[in-house]
Amino acid sequence: MHPTDAAIFGVQDKDIVNVDIDDDERPLTFKNVLIRVSDKFKLEMHIDTDEGNAAQIKSGEEGTLMLSEKL
């Protein structure tokens, strides 16, 4: 994500978060998602094809970033 977005969400490069997909038919939480911050990035999450198909996620769907508990 871009540094501006990181500041808004209160995260830093290499933080670990969860991403909640609130879907009526197939709600899902991606756990242990690595945050990458650079001025060359935009606010976007990339998942592999198998994960997207299993969760029935389509391009452009939105999720909710949830801060993980620190270990």
Identity at 5, one-letter amino acid code = D
Radius of gyration of the chain (CA): 13
d(CA 26, CA 12): 29
Q: What is the pLDDT of residues 5-55, one digit of tens each?
A: 999 999 999 999 999 988 777 888 999 999 999 999 999 998 888 988 888
In this predicted structure, what is the pLDDT of residue 25?
Answer: 79
Q: What is the pTM of this model?
A: 0.81
In this predicted structure, what is the pLDDT of residue 60?
Answer: 84
